[in-house]
Structure 1
Amino acid sequence: MRKNNWACFLLILAGIVIGGFIGSLLPVQWLNYGQTFGLSSPVVLDFGILCLTFGLSIKITVASILGIIIGIIIYRFL
């Protein structure tokens, strides 16, 4: 049976969210060790009648990486 790529993507995304949530709840310091990258301030495009603001910041922690690994393991057993 062919596996669905969307299911893999959703499990990885859920692993990132749940891992980050667990990392913020637990007082273990090494779970929250990570790196933040992206735009430090948002980019603003003002066209007079339309104003667009773009911004992106991603924080990768040990807990979110563990969540990704658990999501991939769950996907393999589906």
Structure 2
Amino acid sequence: MKWKKNLMLIFMLLAGVIVGALLAKVTADMPILSWLSYGNSIGIDVANPMILDLSVLKLAFGFEFGINIAQIICVILSIFMYKGLVNRL
């Protein structure tokens, strides 16, 4: 039973992130709702990764984490929806 709750939480969080990203893309060109697409990225830029050259092996490291206002709102809403759904499981 506990694994169902954990799986539901992961699903709800991923759904919140994906819906928030789509919402930010859709509202980016709308003047009234463009603030939803405001965000920032942190990490090692994927376009310019950190490279470790060992002459036999070349490794490239890049990680970028970006989040915007719409994703934050959708993740918070998905957490509240999870709390409502978990009582039914």
- TM range, smaller chain: 0.7 to 0.9
Alignment gaps of 5+ in structure 2: none
TM-score (norm 2): 0.72
Point out the more displaced range, 30-39 or 43-52.
43-52
User: Which protein is bigger by CA-based radius of gyration?
Assistant: 2
Q: Give unmatched runs, 5+ long, in structure 1.
A: none
Residue in structure 2 matched with residue 39 of structure 1 by the alignment: 44
Q: After superposition, give the CA deviation of every residue in 1:11-69 in whole Å (9 maximum; x if it has no partner).
A: 11221121011111122211011222111331112222322211111121110001101
In the aligned structure 1, how far is the partner of 2:7 from the partner of 2:52?
A: 33
Question: How big is the alpha-carbon RMSD for the aligned residues of Structure 1 and Structure 2?
Answer: 1.8
Matches within 5 A, 1:43-54: 43-54=50-61
Higher RCO (CA 8 Å, separation ≥ 6 residues): 1
Taking structure 1 as the reference length, the TM-score comes to: 0.80
Aligned-residue identity in percent: 33
